[in-house]
Amino acid sequence: MKTLILGAVAGALAAVYWHDDLMRLRERAGGDFSGSLRERVADTLESLEASVGEGLDKARGAACTTLRSWSRTVRGGEGESPSSTRSDSVTSS
């Protein structure tokens, strides 16, 4: 489901961002979307795909790092693992 939404957003962004360029290219080609024009459009879309992918990877990494940090903070310490937190709370006999 996330992929579908991200694909729709990426497509919408591409349409908005390159709308004027695509219309100028169409006018220059006389409305014919064959040959080199198709190749140029495909190259542009592939470039957008790579840019969006890199941005999403960076955002994912930042989100994961932040969530791990929050998890450590909630557990009570930066360097403690969940097992060491539990063993500290149990009294030995």
- The chain-wide mean pLDDT, for the chain, equals 77
Q: How far apart are CA 50 and CA 48, in angstroms?
A: 5
* pLDDT above 70 as % of the chain: 74
Asked if the structure places residue 23 within a domain, the reply is yes
Residue 79 sits at φ, ψ, to 5 deg, of: -100, 0
pLDDT at position 46 over 60? yes
pLDDT in tens, 50-83: 888 888 888 888 899 999 999 999 988 655 555 5
Asked if the structure places residue 47 within a domain, the reply is yes
Boundaries of domain holding 39 = 19-52
pTM to 2 decimal places:
0.39
Q: How far apart are CA 45 and CA 43, in angstroms?
A: 5
pLDDT at position 40 over 50? yes
Element (H, E) at 93: none
Asked if the structure places residue 41 within a domain, the reply is yes
Identity at 45, one-letter amino acid code: L
Number of domains in the chain: 1
Asked if the structure places residue 73 within a domain, the reply is no
Q: How far apart are CA 93 and CA 76, in angstroms?
A: 24
